């Protein structure tokens, strides 16, 4: 009984094989594959020999998102990608050449966003900042 079980219980979700497996997959992805689509997760399950339906993958990912275990991103790709929520917020830089995703967090920008929202009579509930970049030739 691994750590995953505790996380699931804490989130109020029953410990089932699909949920444990999906959580493991999301947690085990390396730096380069941190952001997986539902389809990616589904294929990873099949490769691992687990017989889980794609519909279940979608359901579980949505439950994880609701539970705060996972963050959903809608980049310009036409489909959602998911990543394990590790507490601290961060933004993304997506390299248009390599597809690499770099995470960053800048206090200056964060602060400025709050000021701008407030200036317009709003408070920020959430935000999404994605830089689409290209490698600098030197």
Task: Give the residue ranges of the annotated binding site for Fe cation.
Answer: 89, 91, 110, 127
Q: Is 16 in the site for DNA (CB under 7 A)?
A: yes
Residues 81-120, one symbol each (x = binds a second copy by CB under 8 A, - = not), give ------------x-xx-----x-x-x-xx--xx--xxx-x
Q: Is 28 in the site for DNA (CB under 7 A)?
A: no
Beta-ladder partners of 104: 91
CA-to-CA distance for 10 and 4, rounded, in angstroms? 10
Those residues with Cβ within 8 angstroms of residue 107's Cβ, 6 or more apart along the chain or in another chain: none
What Cα–Cα distance (Å) separates residue 68 from each residue in 9, 11, 29, 62, 123? 13, 8, 18, 10, 21
Near DNA by CB under 7 A: residue from 14, 119, 120, 134: 14
Residue 106 interface partner, choices DNA, a second copy, none, CB cut-off 5-8 Å depending on type: a second copy
Q: Is 46 in the site for DNA (CB under 7 A)?
A: no
Q: Is 39 in the site for a second copy (CB under 8 A)?
A: no
Near DNA by CB under 7 A: residue from 4, 7, 19, 69: 19
Size of the chain in residues:
138
Structure tokens at 134: 């290209």
């Amino acid at each position: 009984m691994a750590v995953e079980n505790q996380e699931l219980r804490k989130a109020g979700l029953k410990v089932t094989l699909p949920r444990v497996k999906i959580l493991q997959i999301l947690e085990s992805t390396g730096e380069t594959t941190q952001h997986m689509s539902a389809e990616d997760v589904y294929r990873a399950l099949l490769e691992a020999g687990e017989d889980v339906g794609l519909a279940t993958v979608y359901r579980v990912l949505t439950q994880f998102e609701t539970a705060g275990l996972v963050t959903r991103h809608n980049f310009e790709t036409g489909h959602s990608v998911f990543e394990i929520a590790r507490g601290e917020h961060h933004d993304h830089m997506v390299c248009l050449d390599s597809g690499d995703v770099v995470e960053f967090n800048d206090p200056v920008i964060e602060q400025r966003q709050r000021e701008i929202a407030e200036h317009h009579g709003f408070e920020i509930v959430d935000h999404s900042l994605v830089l689409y970049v290209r490698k600098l030739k030197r």
